[in-house]
Amino acid sequence: MVAFGDGVSDLWLEIGFGGGEHLAAQAAANPGTGFIGCEPFINGVASLLAEIDRLGLTNIRIFDDDARLMLKALPDGCLGRVFVLFADPWPKKRHHRRRFIAPDTLDQLARLMKDGAELRFASDHMGYVRWALSRLTAHADFQWTAAGPADWRTRPADAVETRYEEKALQKGLSCVYLSFSRRLRVV
């Protein structure tokens, strides 16, 4: 966590932060945590930079490209939490290979996440929710933490509504919030 200096005790990653509302709110609420936000679209990066400036945040670093390119450079077991919130669902079947939640990226996240670290996925696209749920539950390194329907129907208490979530809710769509923990490594 050299990139953040002293006083940072954990590292969290948000992949596809959109306008940065959630990332900025998490960083403001968790000043002892370093945040890396990945977003390839310049308008989203500009929006987050404005929020960083407005709130005086110093614990966010931005990677303005495809997150998969950066994952390879991070050390094993460095992440305490990962957010994939309302990512592009790539709804056309021929584009499903572009979805972030896939075996290769889940292998990378499993390598990067600390034992017990949390992976949060949220979407209003039920096809992508089913896709993500099937891949995450099939992955040996992740455990779904839901105890009942309220756990996937309710946004986590410490989460902030994203602009994409707000748009979905205004359209009357249901949102799903999945949470997984990184299983303990067997030594």
pLDDT digits (tens, 9 = 90+) for 79-135: 999 999 998 876 787 878 888 899 999 999 999 999 999 999 999 999 999 999 999
Residue among 70, 18, 26 at smallest CA distance from 45: 18
For the chain, percent helix, then strand, then coil, each to nearest 5? 40, 25, 40
Q: Summarize the confidence of residues 145-152 as an average pLDDT.
A: 94
The whole-model pTM stands at 0.94
Name the active-site residue from 10, 66, 88, 151.
88
88 is catalytic: yes
CATH topology (fold) of 2-182 = Rossmann fold (3.40.50)
Judge whether residue 1 has pLDDT over 60.
Answer: no
Give 55's pLDDT tier (boundaries 50, 70, 90).
very high
